[in-house]
Structure 1
Amino acid sequence: MAQGQKRNKILITGASRAMEDFKWETARELGIQIPESGYMGDLPSRMNGAIGGNMVRKMIAAYENSLAAGTVPPTPQVTR
């Protein structure tokens, strides 16, 4: 496994479960068949990349909509 994935940290407590749910929701919207076990290692990287790419698009769109509405979500403080 790539070491970069082990260094990623979710900055907001409790967001890991929400991000996991968001991933499955995005996969369903794309029509990607989700295995019952939850293991997605058998899926081609193109499909996994499509899920991640669409997640980013949706997050950017949500942020842009909040800016247009005049409400900006709080930026988490990074502690090192």
Structure 2
Amino acid sequence: MAGERNTNTPAAQGATRQLDQFKWTVANEMGLQLGGDRTSRENGSVGGQMTKKMIQFAEEHLKQGNRI
């Protein structure tokens, strides 16, 4: 996005590209287009949905006895 000032640093080095791709995939699934012309609520809802999906993934793996 033009003018993006993301200063977040992923906990896992090298995950930036994958997380960005995940963000766009989730936005697409939600029928949203990300960008500076969108409201904070719209853009933020994508982050909330990403968090829900990551927690669900972790819970499923923990339930199976896998380490994360």
Bin for the TM-score computed over the shorter chain: 0.7 to 0.9
Q: Which residue of 1 aligns with 2:57?
A: 62
Hey, what's the Cα distance between the residues in 2 that align with 1:33 and 1:54?
A: 14
Identity of aligned residues (%): 41
Report the Cα offset of residue 11 of structure 1: 2.2
Hey, what's the Cα distance between the residues in 2 that align with 1:52 and 1:11?
A: 16
Report the Cα offset of residue 54 of structure 1: 0.1
Deviation per CA, 1:37-57: give whole Å up to 9, x if none. xxx111111111110000000
Hey, what's the Cα distance between the residues in 1 that align with 2:40 and 2:11?
A: 26
Q: Please state if 1:15 is matched with 2:15.
A: yes
Q: Which amino acid aligns with 2:24?
A: W
Where do 5+ consecutive residues of structure 2 fail to align? Answer: 1-5
**TM-score, length basis structure 2:** 0.83
**TM-score, length basis structure 1:** 0.72
Q: Higher relative contact order at CA 8 Å, sep ≥6: structure 1 or structure 2?
A: 1
Q: Which 4+ residue blocks in structure 1 deviate beyond 2 angstroms?
A: none
Where do 5+ consecutive residues of structure 1 fail to align? Answer: 35-39, 74-80
